[in-house]
Amino acid sequence: MLLHSSTQLLTLQGPPQRGRDLGALGLIENGAVLIRDEKILAVGGTDELRASFPDEPALSADGCVILPGFVDPHTHLPWAGDRANEFELKMSGVPYLDILAKGGGILSTVKQTRAASLKSLISQTRARAQRAFLHGTTTAEAKTGYGLNLASELRLLQTLLALNDEGPLELAITFLGAHAIAPEFKNDPQGYVDEITNTMLPLLKDWWETHAPHLTLPFVDVFCETKAFSLDQSRQVLARAGSLGFPLKIHADEFDNLGGATLAVELGAASADHLVRTSDADIAALAKSDTVAVSLPCTPFGLAEKDYTPAQKIIAAGGLLALASDCNPGTTWNESMQFVIALACRAMKLTPAQAIAASTINAAHAIRRADTIGSIEVGKQADLLILSVPDYRHLGYRYGTNLVRQVVKRGKVYSVDANYYRMA
Ligand code: NIG
Ligand code: FE
């Protein structure tokens, strides 16, 4: 299939973009892409590719922008129920961590998730996966973390494996057993850490090798935060996971700076995420490393807080910056990377080009998949978007409506607008 006549084709070609290199779009005017067998076979100008492949079935992107599918490298996609009641509480002034300390927050979703059947978890999570996909996310990282015991955490992994098999949204799976201290260990937090390191992680490795032998090991993540896991406990979890061969991630500096970002660098984690209270020393450590700084601007927005990731400092220091939704029932229930981009531009003063690179090639590197997705390059998976806009800067500029006309995933075209037209 030849996709042609786009006003602008953003290739994002090349390696992940560090520091001030962020925002190189590799823009081709009147661009075209040749797709065969799920992969990209050629990229170039429309006239050139049409002349070289005259008999190829064609799809016109006239008046539209083509760009790589968004990669959302941080979501908590599988959960049951909602916390609309807590949103009301938070907006009337009760702090997020106070709600958690009183057994609400994450623990309220844990209760609802433990009570849900596998079938119900799959259908609730599928609805979110479909919304993300229709808004242009072609690959998303997705974490467990609302089970907090072996059986429930495994059920969340089963949910994610089933949805990844089903598609079209592709998932990069993460085990976040260390999301909160399990209620059973309320008075013995170290007991829960020991349970994770001595029991859950080794069992997870065996379970994964039996249930998902076709996939590489999942990431292991930890919520390094006041009232969750201390720096030392985070180190215990991640060091054990690393020694078992799991790739690593961390939630760091969302509310307090405990040193999680520097720990991520020390342990060679793929990413350190949130990074609101991150110090200059942490930023310097990140900038010298291959650990991607993943900013989640919807989280402070969702909590109506005023501080965001110091993205400009990370860029100036030479760090690798990516963006993600953090989609979860507590702090920010939003599946759209288009909204993340619009918010990142305003709250962190990214240009649309920087925000797009942070949501594609750099986001792919945050889940260590930049060799197969995140840009439109020969040999990569054919994951791309046709946006009904004439210029890429409409991303960022516009928000609150869906700009996607079609999503192409592994070479297959999914129409978005068609559903709306049919309703009329
Ligand atoms: O990334 N920080 C920890 N986890 C989520 C919130 C989870 C919840 O409140 O359910 C986050 O913001
Ligand atoms: Fe998170």
Bond prior to 168 in cis (omega within 30° of 0): yes
Each residue of 173-185: pLDDT tens digit?
999 999 999 999 9
pLDDT bracket for residue 103 (50, 70, 90): confident
Round to whole Å and give the CA distance between 93 and 89. 7
Residue nearest to atom 9 of ligand 1 (CA): 330
pTM, two decimal places: 0.97
pLDDT of residue 424: 41
pLDDT per residue as tens digits for the range 137-163: 999 999 999 999 999 999 999 999 999
- For ligand 1, whether the C-beta of 328 sits within 6 Å is yes
**C-alpha–C-alpha distance, residues 385 and 399, integer Å:** 17
N-terminal to C-terminal alpha carbon distance within the chain = 30
Substitution candidate for ligand 1 out of 106, 141, 144 with most atoms within 8 A of CB: 106
Q: Which two tokens stand for residue 361?
A: 């090639």
Ligand 1 contact, 109 CB (< 6 A): yes
Among 76, 86, 108, name the best residue to mutate to test ligand 1's pocket (greatest count of ligand atoms within 8 A of Cβ): 76
The neighbourhood of ligand 2, an ion, using CB within 5 A, equals 326
Q: Give the list of residues 6+ apart from residue 69 with CB closer than 8 angstroms, or none.
A: 136, 137, 138, 139, 360, 373, 383, 384, 385, 407, 408, 409
Q: Give residue 247's pLDDT.
A: 98
Ligand at shortest distance from the CA of 332: 1
φ/ψ of 59, rounded to 5, equals: -130, 120
**Which pLDDT belongs to residue 418?**
52
* Domains of the chain listed by start with CATH number: 2-68+374-423 (2.30.40.10), 70-366 (3.20.20.140)
Pairwise pLDDT comparison (144 vs 100), residue with the higher score? 144
| Pairing mode of beta strands 70-72, 27-36 | unpaired
